[in-house]
Structure 1
Amino acid sequence: MLLVVTGFSLHVIADSYSVYLDIAGSYTQGTLADLLWIISVWLIGTAGFYVKEDREEPVWEIEKTFKKFGNILPYASTIVLLILVTLSYQWDLNVLSIGLFIIIFMIIARQLYIVKENDKLIDEFKHLAYHDPLTGLKNRINFEEHLDYEMQKCRDNSAALLLIDLDRFKVINDTLGHQAGDFILMKISKYLQQILAADTQVFRLGGDEFAIILPDATKEKCIKVTETVLDKFQKPFSIHGHEIIVTASIGISLFPLHARTYEELFKYADAAMYLAKDGGKNGYRFYDDDLNQIMARRMRIESDLRKALEEKQFKVYYQPKLELKTKKIVGMEALLRWKHPELGWISPAEFIPIAEETGQIVSIGEWVLNEACKQNVSWQQRGLPLVSVSVNVSVRQFQQGKFLSVVEKALRESGLQSQFLEIEVTESIMQNINDSIKILTSLRKKGVKIAIDDFGKGYSSLHMIRQLPIDTIKLDKSFIDDIDDEMQLAMVKTIILLGIDLNLTVVAEGIEREYQLNKLIEGHCHIGQGYLFSKAVKAEKMEKILKDNSGVYLQK
């Protein structure tokens, strides 16, 4: 390309010189202009001889060289012509000619200045297009191009993609504000740049998601880098007087071991990252064949969830809640079950998180609420004991903004009196505490009871008791499992006494052994549920339990 540019430049110079000779009336054949024409044609022809089939790499150099000469050439030609014209006048210029030359030079200088400023502006726009404005890291567009380039470069070697997603970052944004979230993102970006090697690229893909591309990667190298990152994240951030530790989940896929295309490599790292989150967060996971089967099943469940409600594959089961001393049934919890036509029974622990993630929990939860209310009314109309039914509610149902009207509609259409409905929520409603308090307060005013499920499992549970309008706290099963441990028993008794002092009902979940029941009674816990009394059963079997005058049902 350089030969072509040089050839054309000589051709322009030859033309300019020829024009000058014509103006001076001294042009003859065999002058310097003819020699320059011949040389320019020879250079252009020689350039064609060196053309290669694969010109993928030189493209950028060609464009830059052409742009450089293309910008300068018009102004250089103008200056050459002005010099030639001056020579033709034998430097005998009048004031008008000098003024004209000055104006032309000023125009050229102005244009060169504008070109320079435009180049700077283009560079700034290019930087913004390829970098994240908050952290200064390279962005998703840059990431896609760089990952594809790295895979091309490492065809005989290996490369690794590490996808990093911050755990519970949305809670930080919602509770401390977006400025605090931005501060953490900037700090984490600096951490990543400090601990990574110079040849390792780090990117911010958006939100709280980052990516690292490791060249010449082995599994051992990936583990070392990942553990270094996770260890660095253990350092707390101080924001507005709060000490906050931000953990991360990391998914890892290797090229070419796991994938040979950008799309597959990213998809597999993303899948591994989500599995790391499901495994308890603050960890990492490599992609493997087993993970591929897990993700295939996950995608199947996500897809089939959409039609499960329409095809009536869901069932509502009921687990009784008993007064621990008398064994009298005082309520029941409605629990969702799914029998897939091909996969069989699918655990709620498997499909409910997927439903929450995809937003399908909103329509599913509304259906469960309606079914539970209708069933309770049906039992009451047949003269069975008047007990309340508890329905679990996801934070996604709160966030969709229509939950209050959904509950009102369920009560109105079923005819159930509000005091026989209890709504169970978890601490995740703290993500938007102000709206949650408004909704729960409105429900309590209508007579609906409110319970905090899995109490003691989350870090903000005590804070919730002070703020939220609630009637009941439910002790998480994890407390009951280890109640034979003295420290655990002391903690359980403390929570029970706290609930009693706050005039709250305390319900123990997951009671499976007689010694657990006895310890809870000794600790003044009055209500409980679990396999010791009954597992969750169909509506027909629950009706049989309610008909028993003693209200006792022990699982045989």
Structure 2
Amino acid sequence: MNLSHSRKLENASWLLEDYQLLLHQLPEPLCLVSSTHTGQPDSILFANAKAQELLQLTEKEWQEYTWEQVFITHLSGRALRICLQEFTTGDGNLYFIVTLSDATDYVETKEKLRIMSSEFESLFKYNSHIVYTINQQGMITNFNDAGLRRLGYSKEEMLGMHFQEVILKEDSIRTQTYFDEVLKGNVQTFQIRIKDKSGFFFPIEVTAVPIKIDGHVTGVISTAQDISARLEMEEKLKDSEESYRALFEYNVDPVITYDLEGRFLAFNKATEEILGADQQQLIGQPFLPYIEEELRELTWHHFQQVLKGKPYQYETRAVNAKGETISLHITLIPVFVKGELTSIHCIGKDITIRKNHDQMMHYLAYHDNLTGLGNQRLFNEKLKKWLKEETGKELGLWILDLDRFKFINDNLGHEAGDRLITSFGERLQSAVGSKGTVYRYGGDEFAVLTPGLSEIATKLLAVEVTSALSKPYDIDGFSTILTASVGISLYPRHGREERTLIRAADHAMYHAKKHGRNMFQLYTTDTEGLAKTDLRMEALLHKALENNEFVLFYQPQYHAESGKIHGIEALIRWNSPELGMVPPSAFIPLAEETGLIVAIGEWVIEEACRQNKAWQDQGFPATPIAVNMSLRQFYQADLLETIKGILKKTGLGPRCLMLEITETIAMQEDIAADILQQIKELGVRIAMDDFGTGYSSLKYLQTFSIDHIKIDKAFTDKLHTKEGRAIIATIISLGHHLDMTVIAEGVETPKQVQELKDLGCDVFQGYYFSRPLAPADLVDQLFG
């Protein structure tokens, strides 16, 4: 205790004595406080029991502290209500009677009320939604700024307005019901439509809360949120959901939801239809058993890719309950919920028709649509692949060119020609069998690849194939022969590259065609030289007619009994400046292949007629002149007009012209018979050349208007044999019975002359009597 404080207590001793009892008995906490020289409270001189209790000080403690120390040390965090009353003693000293009361609870309550009031004011004033209060009569008593802005009213306009004034009429009764419920103390949440000052209605969601004072509802406070955007979003979501449902339920394609293990969670009707299974069979089951067995591993690998979180597409094939295979294009879409992959959406597109179409297009791209055989494109690709792999095995490459097909096609018609090509392809494929693959190389050419066959085995197979191909074909009841010239090259002997092997086989085929057709030829360097010669010859042949390089030689025919001249056969030669004198056997087949034979044949007829008329004009006897006619020439559309024109142009009588045809005209019996009849009506004679070597029946002698039969040299050469003599005797007898003159070709010996006379042959032609002669030489020999 300090000295100053002690003196103050001594001075106040009278107070202690007079008021101690009184102050201790008062129910209020009281203190007696001295003052400083400036008149401010200084030291606590006395505190009654209530004050000591309030201040939580003992008598000793309060005597040791100043006024400030007591409040700083012991009253921190507490609130006191203090009332100071001044009084002055007789000695002039100033003292304070201090009345104390604990105001901590009051202050805290007041602070809480202040805070709550501030929070409520913030909630009401700064709320972005509409906030308003309504009294029990439904009158608006307060409205926040955000609400005023949204509705377009001022606060003065809004206060005192009944809430029903801003509500859509259709929602009025319902809103009143909600209001009445809130007045009963029940919180209500509902949606209504209100209008702004301009009359525009919009939807709000209202939460109405009763205002209670002392347990009584005195009004309503409400918050309202403009839900236009939300309802629009909900509508869009609804539309989206309906669209999704439509996409899912009514999609013509399968739409499926899988779990992450590939099990069915949901699917649409199209899925059931395409798989032939219902919901009970599919839900919870894995999809993999419905995939074609050989594709399951690959399809599961595809499915795993979508688990990486990105859409994935692939193609596969499913097998439904009926065992039908369906080609599918699959689109997998990962489904995320809160960032976690939960399931897989699958959209399947049935591409079976498209796949079949693609396969058909691929088939058509690589196969001949007439024969069904692989085409040239497939042939080239297979050959390239085989050469690239180079297995070490041998390979035979065949090129087959049909003999005289163009003529047959032109005259039988394209439809019959197509059937003939088809039959030929079938027979070729059957003959080759499992030893090779047949392709239609293009037009009237075929190709064959025979891998793994040795040279000897290839030749043996070629013999079998050409033999099978040369047998007659029956086309609409008509029997015809269609042969092929075959060229073969061997890998690696004749080359290791595609072009080299094809060229070698081509050259070999040319050689086979050059040397008689209906045969095969293995490639050699000689065949390539001959092929090159043929190409050169073809180029020269095109110019030969224009350059007047063709000449006619004439071979006389004699009566067997009288030895007099019977007729003359005109035989063509090609006097080429580059090739020399070319025999018909060297260029006639090429002329037939190229189509030049028609123009050349017309020139032969005209030149023979001109020469014969020239001889007659010189005074020589009128003698028939015979001209060979090719099959192509015979069936040309303007044949009759051409013959008429030549006869008229040259002035030769028709009885002095004889056209020699072969049995091959019988391939179109009705047409041939009609043409021959018209030729006969012109007065021109007809001879059947090379009789017995063709492919027709003997019945055609009766059908056709034939004047002469010519026995082929092949039979004359065999006259010394029993069989040859019998055949010639039969031909002569047949001709005579049909009133035809029989001419024997190739008569070269006196013995043949005598034997033919003995058999009754009418006319002889051959080297025994005369070789083919130039016009001047023939005149010298016949007419001196």
2:677 pairs with 1:438: no
Query: Kindly tell me: are residues 234 and 530 of structure 1, through their superposed partners in 2, closer, same or farther at Cα, counting changes over 3 Å?
Result: closer
Query: Kindly tell me: are residues 351 and 461 of structure 1, through their superposed partners in 2, closer, same or farther at Cα, counting changes over 3 Å?
Result: farther
Alignment-derived partner of residue 709 in structure 2: 473
Query: Kindly tell me: are residues 233 and 320 of structure 1, through their superposed partners in 2, closer, same or farther at Cα, counting changes over 3 Å?
Result: closer
Q: CA deviation at 1:484?
A: 1.6
Q: CA deviation at 1:532?
A: 1.0
In structure 1, C-alpha distance between the alignment counterparts of 2:591 and 2:622, rounded to whole Å: 32
1:208-231 superposed Cα distances (whole Å, 9 cap, x missing partner): 643222335542342244345456
Residue number among 410, 427, 430 corresponding to 1:188 in the alignment: 427
Alignment-derived partner of residue 733 in structure 2: 497
In structure 2, C-alpha distance between the alignment counterparts of 1:229 and 1:314, rounded to whole Å: 38
Residues 230 and 283 of structure 1 are in contact (CA less than 8 Å); yes or no, is this contact kept in structure 2? yes
Query: Kindly tell me: are residues 178 and 314 of structure 1, through their superposed partners in 2, closer, same or farther at Cα, counting changes over 3 Å?
Result: closer
In structure 2, C-alpha distance between the alignment counterparts of 1:237 and 1:442, rounded to whole Å: 29
Residues 251 and 284 of structure 1 are in contact (CA less than 8 Å); yes or no, is this contact kept in structure 2? yes
Which structure shows the higher helix fraction? 1
Task: Return 5+ residue gaps in structure 1 as ranges.
Answer: 1-64, 92-100, 549-556
Residue number among 623, 627, 644 corresponding to 1:387 in the alignment: 623
Q: CA deviation at 1:261?
A: 3.8
Residues 135 and 185 of structure 1 are in contact (CA less than 8 Å); yes or no, is this contact kept in structure 2? no
Q: CA deviation at 1:380?
A: 0.8
Residue number among 773, 776, 779 corresponding to 1:540 in the alignment: 776
Matched to 2:627, the amino acid is V
Residue number among 516, 526, 533 corresponding to 1:290 in the alignment: 526
1:327-360 superposed Cα distances (whole Å, 9 cap, x missing partner): 2112101110112212222111111111111111
Residue number among 211, 219, 223 corresponding to 2:455 in the alignment: 219
Alignment-derived partner of residue 578 in structure 2: 342
Q: CA deviation at 1:282?
A: 4.8
Query: Kindly tell me: are residues 547 and 245 of structure 1, through their superposed partners in 2, closer, same or farther at Cα, counting changes over 3 Å?
Result: closer
Query: Kindly tell me: are residues 359 and 158 of structure 1, through their superposed partners in 2, closer, same or farther at Cα, counting changes over 3 Å?
Result: same
What SS does the aligned partner of 1:489 have? helix
Query: Kindly tell me: are residues 265 and 388 of structure 1, through their superposed partners in 2, closer, same or farther at Cα, counting changes over 3 Å?
Result: same
In structure 1, C-alpha distance between the alignment counterparts of 2:740 and 2:398, rounded to whole Å: 47
Residues 554 and 571 of structure 2 are in contact (CA less than 8 Å); yes or no, is this contact kept in structure 1? yes
Residues 134 and 186 of structure 1 are in contact (CA less than 8 Å); yes or no, is this contact kept in structure 2? no
In structure 2, C-alpha distance between the alignment counterparts of 1:225 and 1:185, rounded to whole Å: 17
Residues 567 and 623 of structure 2 are in contact (CA less than 8 Å); yes or no, is this contact kept in structure 1? yes
Alignment-derived partner of residue 35 in structure 1: none
Matched to 2:766, the amino acid is G
What SS does the aligned partner of 2:709 have? strand
What SS does the aligned partner of 1:532 have? coil
2:390 pairs with 1:154: yes
Q: CA deviation at 1:163?
A: 2.6
1:146-186 superposed Cα distances (whole Å, 9 cap, x missing partner): 11222233296643202345667786994995686366346
Query: Kindly tell me: are residues 433 and 262 of structure 1, through their superposed partners in 2, closer, same or farther at Cα, counting changes over 3 Å?
Result: farther
Q: CA deviation at 1:297?
A: 1.7
Alignment-derived partner of residue 659 in structure 2: 423
2:608 pairs with 1:372: yes
2:568 pairs with 1:332: yes
In structure 2, C-alpha distance between the alignment counterparts of 1:90 and 1:543, rounded to whole Å: 109
1:192-244 superposed Cα distances (whole Å, 9 cap, x missing partner): 56x324xx433233456432223355423422443454566688888888999
Matched to 1:406, the amino acid is T
In structure 1, C-alpha distance between the alignment counterparts of 2:592 and 2:468, rounded to whole Å: 31
Query: Kindly tell me: are residues 127 and 463 of structure 1, through their superposed partners in 2, closer, same or farther at Cα, counting changes over 3 Å?
Result: same
Alignment-derived partner of residue 269 in structure 1: 505
Residue number among 547, 550, 557 corresponding to 1:314 in the alignment: 550
Q: CA deviation at 1:121?
A: 1.9
Residues 485 and 509 of structure 2 are in contact (CA less than 8 Å); yes or no, is this contact kept in structure 1? yes
Matched to 1:267, the amino acid is R
Task: Return 5+ residue gaps in structure 2 as ranges.
Answer: 1-301, 306-310, 316-328
Which structure shows the higher strand fraction? 2
Moved more, 406-415 or 142-151: 142-151
1:365-389 superposed Cα distances (whole Å, 9 cap, x missing partner): 1111111111111111111111111
Q: CA deviation at 1:267?
A: 3.0
2:486 pairs with 1:250: yes
What SS does the aligned partner of 1:204 have? strand
Residues 420 and 475 of structure 2 are in contact (CA less than 8 Å); yes or no, is this contact kept in structure 1? no
Alignment-derived partner of residue 516 in structure 1: 752
1:272-305 superposed Cα distances (whole Å, 9 cap, x missing partner): 2343345455542101011112112212211111
In structure 1, C-alpha distance between the alignment counterparts of 2:725 and 2:764, rounded to whole Å: 16
Moved more, 392-401 or 257-266: 257-266
Matched to 2:427, the amino acid is I
Residue number among 674, 681, 687 corresponding to 1:451 in the alignment: 687
Matched pairs, number: 461
Matched to 1:372, the amino acid is A
Q: Name which structure has the greater RCO, CA cutoff 8 Å, separation 6+.
A: 1
What SS does the aligned partner of 1:383 have? coil
Matched to 2:423, the amino acid is I
In structure 2, C-alpha distance between the alignment counterparts of 1:457 and 1:229, rounded to whole Å: 22
Alignment-derived partner of residue 126 in structure 2: none
Residues 137 and 189 of structure 1 are in contact (CA less than 8 Å); yes or no, is this contact kept in structure 2? no
Normalised by the length of structure 1, the TM-score is 0.74
Query: Kindly tell me: are residues 276 and 383 of structure 1, through their superposed partners in 2, closer, same or farther at Cα, counting changes over 3 Å?
Result: same
Moved more, 378-387 or 148-157: 148-157
Q: CA deviation at 1:70?
A: 5.4
In structure 2, C-alpha distance between the alignment counterparts of 1:239 and 1:338, rounded to whole Å: 37
5 Å-filtered alignment, 1:113-124, equals 113=350, 115-124=351-360
In structure 1, C-alpha distance between the alignment counterparts of 2:611 and 2:462, rounded to whole Å: 51
Alignment-derived partner of residue 540 in structure 2: 304
Alignment-derived partner of residue 721 in structure 2: 485
Query: Kindly tell me: are residues 469 and 226 of structure 1, through their superposed partners in 2, closer, same or farther at Cα, counting changes over 3 Å?
Result: same
Query: Kindly tell me: are residues 155 and 422 of structure 1, through their superposed partners in 2, closer, same or farther at Cα, counting changes over 3 Å?
Result: same
Query: Kindly tell me: are residues 207 and 467 of structure 1, through their superposed partners in 2, closer, same or farther at Cα, counting changes over 3 Å?
Result: farther
What SS does the aligned partner of 2:772 have? coil
In structure 2, C-alpha distance between the alignment counterparts of 1:127 and 1:451, rounded to whole Å: 51
Residues 314 and 331 of structure 2 are in contact (CA less than 8 Å); yes or no, is this contact kept in structure 1? no
Alignment-derived partner of residue 361 in structure 2: 125
Matched to 2:553, the amino acid is Y
Residues 473 and 507 of structure 1 are in contact (CA less than 8 Å); yes or no, is this contact kept in structure 2? yes
Query: Kindly tell me: are residues 229 and 453 of structure 1, through their superposed partners in 2, closer, same or farther at Cα, counting changes over 3 Å?
Result: closer
Residues 567 and 625 of structure 2 are in contact (CA less than 8 Å); yes or no, is this contact kept in structure 1? yes
Alignment-derived partner of residue 376 in structure 2: 140
In structure 2, C-alpha distance between the alignment counterparts of 1:90 and 1:348, rounded to whole Å: 87
In structure 2, C-alpha distance between the alignment counterparts of 1:223 and 1:392, rounded to whole Å: 37
What SS does the aligned partner of 2:699 have? helix
In structure 2, C-alpha distance between the alignment counterparts of 1:236 and 1:393, rounded to whole Å: 24
2:529 pairs with 1:323: no
What SS does the aligned partner of 1:462 have? coil
**Larger Rg, first or second structure (1 or 2):** 2
Residues 135 and 189 of structure 1 are in contact (CA less than 8 Å); yes or no, is this contact kept in structure 2? no
In structure 2, C-alpha distance between the alignment counterparts of 1:231 and 1:419, rounded to whole Å: 43
* RMSD across aligned positions (CA): 3.6
